[in-house]
Chains A and B, each alone.
Chain A
Amino acid sequence: MLNKKYRHSIVIDNHEMVYYRCGQGDPILMVHGITTYSFIWRNLFPYLEDKYELIIVDLLGCGDSDKSIDIEFSLKNHARILAELLRALHIPKVHLVGHDVGGGICQIMAVRYAELVFSLTVMNTVAYDFWPVQPIITMRTPIIRQLAMATLDLGAFRFIVKRGLYYQARLDKELMDCFWYPMKTSAGRKAFLYFAHCLNNQDLLEISDELACLEMPVMIIRGDKDVYLSQQIAERLHKNIKTSMLKIIPTAGHFLQEDEPALIANYLHTFIKR
C-alpha cells in the first residue's frame, strides 16, 4: 500500500476517486489495470518520487475509490474521468504510464486528450482486440469467469497472481493481502466484476488508426514471461506507432512492477528525460 500521507480524494461525476500525489518535477500519471490498484506502483515509487510529481490513481470501482456500479467502467469512460481529474487538479500535461487495461485507458487518453499528454508508456498492455488469454479454462470461458471465481476464492486469486509473476517466490502474505484487499467486501467484489463486464474491445479498436498517428514519444514495455497477454500486442503496437520504442524484459511476468521495479523506473527515467 502507498503511504497514507500522500492520499487524497476528489469527487468526479458524483463518485469519490482516491489518488496519491507526491514528489516534484514533471508530472507522471500512473494508471493500474484490472485485479490491481494504486499499490502496484509502490515499488517504483522510491526511484521516481524525488525526480517527478507522481499522480497515482485508484480507478473508480478499484482500491479505495467509490465502488458504486451506477457509472460505466469502460476504458473510454475511465479515460474521460482521468482527463477530468487532471483538469480538476490543474495539471496541464502529464507523462502517462499505464499497465494492463490501464495501458488501454492511457492509449485512449493519448488519442482523445492528446493536449494533456507529454508521452505515453504502456506496460503489458491490452490493445486492439487482444485481450487476456485464458489461463484455466480455454475457449468458451472468458477471462471474466476466472476472475469471477477468483473474487470468491483466495486460492484461485493467488493462482492468478502467482502466474503473473516471474519471481514467484516473491508472492508473500503481504503482497497477497494487497491484491485481496478490495475482494473482502461484497461491494468490492461487485465493482471488480462490473469492471470486467464493462471491458469492450470496441473501445480500443476504434482508436487503432489514430494510435498509429501519435506524434508523442511512446514506450512499450513487455514482460517477456507475461502469460496473460500475448507478445503480439507489444510487437504490433511497436510496429504501428512510429514514435514508439519497445523494451522487452526477460525477467518479468505480467505484474512486471513486482518483478523488475528498478529496471522499469530506469527505463521511464531515461525515456522521459530523452
Chain B
Amino acid sequence: MSDYLDKIRRLEQRIKALEEENNSLSNRVEEMLLLSLINESFESVSDERVLLLSVLEKISILKNIPYCACFGYDTKHWKPIVQYCSLFSKEPCEGTLLLSEDLAHEFISESIVRFSVEDRPDAFQLSGSSRLFIPKEFLAITFHTRTLKNGVFIFISNGNTKDPFSKDLHPFHQVIQIVIDKWDRISLMDELHELNLQLEYRVKDRTQQLEQEEEKYRQLFNLANDAIFLWELHKEVVLGCIEMNDAAIKMTGYHEKELIRANPLTLLDDAYSHEERQQLVSYFMQARSIYKARIKTKRGILPLEVHTRRFGDGDKQYIIAVARDISEQLAYEASIVEALNKAVESEKLKSAFLANMSHEIRTPMNAIVGFSELLSEDVMTESEVKMYADIIFKNSMHLLNLINDIVDYSKIEAKQVKIFNSAVSINELISDLSINMISLLHKSGKSHIDVLTHSPLNDADATIEADGTHLRQILSNLVNNAIKFTDKGFVELGYQLRDDQIEFFVRDTGMGIKAIDQDKIFERFVQIRDKDAVNVGGTGLGLAICSNLVQKMNGQMCLDSTPGEGSTFYFTIPYTKTQLS
C-alpha cells in the first residue's frame, strides 16, 4: 500500500514538474507571440496614439492585465495619452486612472515603480469599477522618446487571477523598447513627411518658375526675327533639324516636316563650288562660328549670316544655328557703295565745275574789264565805243545768266523753290517761245535753222493749271540748249496729251548725245564736251535745274537722242484743265 502511495506521490511530483516546465514553455510562447503580434501590427501604424492603443490592448489580452496605460508628463501634470481597460465598458478609457501626487513624483525620480495595491491603497484611484477587476499589483515603467521627455507605462493586475508580473521584467522592457523605437520612427516619419511636403512645395515652386522661364524662352524663341534651328548630330553626322522657330519656317518657306529631314548641306545654294560647300560645312561643325552663306528657300536664294554654337556630350550633340536674312543689309551696303561712288563722282564734278566756272567767269570778266579800260581811253571812235559797249553788255549778260543759273540751282538745292500754280495757256506759251527762238536764232546767226511748233489742243483745252514762270524757264532752257547745239535742220517745240499728263518736247537736229552720257546729263555741273566740239559756254546747271523743276511739278524729264542726228528732250506734267481768270 505504501509503495502504491509512494508511486502516486512520485507521479504527482512528476506531473507537477511537467506542469512547471509546461508553464515556462507557455510563457515563452506567449512572449514570443506578443512580440510577434506587436511587430506585425506596427506595419500599418502611422499615428502614435493608434500605436499605443494597439500595443496596450495586446499586452492586456495576452498578459491578462486588465489595465494598461501610457501617461506623458506635460509641464506640470501626468496626463493619460492612451488607456486600455479590458474589464471596463467605457471606450475609450480616458481619465479612468487618477494618480496621487506622491506617485506622480515617483515617476520623475524612479525608472520602475512597483507595489502591491493592498500596501498603498491611496496611491491611485480607478474610476468605473467592475466586480471582475480587483486591482492587485501596480507596475510603472518610465521611458522617453524623441518627442516625449517623460513618459510612463502603467500596468495594474487583477486580484482574481494569478500574479501576472513576474520578477523578471525583461519582456515588458522588450515590448516598451519596441514601442519607443516605433514611436521615434513615427515622429521621424512625420518630420520626414513634413520635409517631403516642403520639398514637394519647393519642387512645385521651382517647377513653376522653370515652366515660366521655359515659356519665356519659348516666346523669345518663337518671337525672334532671326531663324533659329536646333540640329541633332550623331557621331559627326547631322541627323536633322529637331526644332525650329516660326521665323525659320517663315524665312525658308519650308514646312516643318521638310526641315526636320533637311541637312544644312542640302540647303546650301547650288551655285557654291565643292570647296566652298566643304568650307561652309566645316564652319557649321565648329564649336562656335559666324559665317555668311546663301541658302535655297521656297522664295529663292537667300543670303544669311549664321551664328552657330555646338553643345552636348558623347555621341549625341546639338548645334544651335541662328540665321539672319542679310539681303536687306547687303542691298544697303551696295547702296552705300553706290552713294560713295556718287559722292566721289560729285566731288570730281564739283572740282571740274569750279575749274570750268573760274574759266567761264574769268573770260567774260576779262572782256568786261579789258573793254571797260579801253572805253576810258580818250582816243576812241564812236563805232569803237559802241562795239566795246556791245562786247561789255554781251559779256555782262553772259555773266548774269551764269549767276542766275547758279542762284536758281542753289535755291533748288536749298529747297527754296516753291511751285505756284495758276491758269496757263500753253498754246500762247509755245507761240511766245517760238518768237523768242526766231529772235535768238537770228542773233546767233543761225537764221537758217527752222523753228517748228506743235500745239494740238485748242485754246480752251490748252489752258492748264501750272506754274507758268517755271514752265517757261524750263522750255526756254531746253530751247536755248537746242539752239546752242544745232547748226542745221530745225528745232521743234511742242506738246502732246498723254492720258492725264501733258508731255512737252523740244526736238533738235543737233549733234546728239552719246548713250553713255545720256544718264549723266541731268546731273549738276555736267557738260558733255567732245574734244572736237565747239565750246558753247554755259554752266552745266541748266538741265539739272530743269529736271529738278519738273520733278517739283510732279513730272519727269527724259531724253531720246542719237549722236549726229539730234536729240529730243521730253518732260511731263499733270494735265489739269482750267480757265483763264
Q: Chain A residues in contact with chain B, CB under 8 A?
A: 68-70, 137-141, 145, 148-149, 151-153, 186-187, 189-190, 193-194, 197-198
Contact = CB atoms under 8 A, between A and B. Distances in A.
Main secondary structure of the interface of A (DSSP, over half): helix
30 contacts: A69-B87, A69-B130, A70-B130, A137-B22, A137-B26, A138-B22, A139-B19, A140-B23, A140-B26, A141-B26, A145-B30, A148-B64, A149-B33, A149-B61, A149-B62, A152-B37, A152-B58, A152-B62, A153-B37, A186-B57, A186-B91, A187-B91, A189-B57, A190-B86, A190-B91, A193-B61, A193-B86, A194-B87, A197-B87, A198-B132
Contacts of B22: 137-140
Given A187-B91, A193-B61, 5 more contacts: A70-B89, A137-B22, A152-B57, A186-B53, A193-B86
Given A140-B19, A193-B86, A197-B132, A151 B61 contact: yes
Closest 4 CB pairs of A and B: A70-B89, A68-B89, A69-B89, A148-B61
Contacts of A197: 87, 132
A167 B391 CA distance: 156
Nearest to A137: B26
B29 interface: yes
Indicate the size class of the contact surface on chain B: 20 to 34
Contacts, number: 49
Contacts of B61: 148-149, 151-152, 189, 193
A72 to B, nearest CB: 9
B26 to A, nearest CB: 5
Contacts of B42: none
B88 interface: yes
A139 B88 CA distance: 29
In the complex, which of the residues B29, B57, B61, B130 has the most CB atoms of chain A within 10 Å of its own CB atom?
A: B61
Given A148-B64, A187-B91, A137 B29 contact: yes
Contacts of A148: 61-62, 64
Contacts of A151: 61
Nearest to B33: A149
Interface in B22-41: 22-23, 26, 29-30, 33, 37
Contacts of A139: 19, 22
Contacts of A145: 30, 64
Contacts of B57: 152, 186, 189
Contacts of B29: 137
Interface string B55-84: 001100110100000000000000000000
Nearest to B88: A69
Contacts of A70: 89, 130
Contacts of A149: 33, 61-62
A56 to B, nearest CB: 25
A187 B92 CA distance: 9
A197 B158 CA distance: 13
A32 to B, nearest CB: 22
Contacts of B62: 148-149, 152
Nearest to B41: A152
B234 to A, nearest CB: 57
Contacts of A190: 86, 91
Interface in B87-138: 87-89, 91, 130, 132
A65 to B, nearest CB: 14
Nearest to A185: B91
Contacts of B132: 197-198
A198 B131 CA distance: 11
A148 B37 CA distance: 12
A137 B62 CA distance: 14
B435 to A, nearest CB: 132
A139 B130 CA distance: 28
Nearest to A156: B33
A125 B305 CA distance: 103
A186 to B, nearest CB: 6
Contacts of B58: 152
A189 B84 CA distance: 12
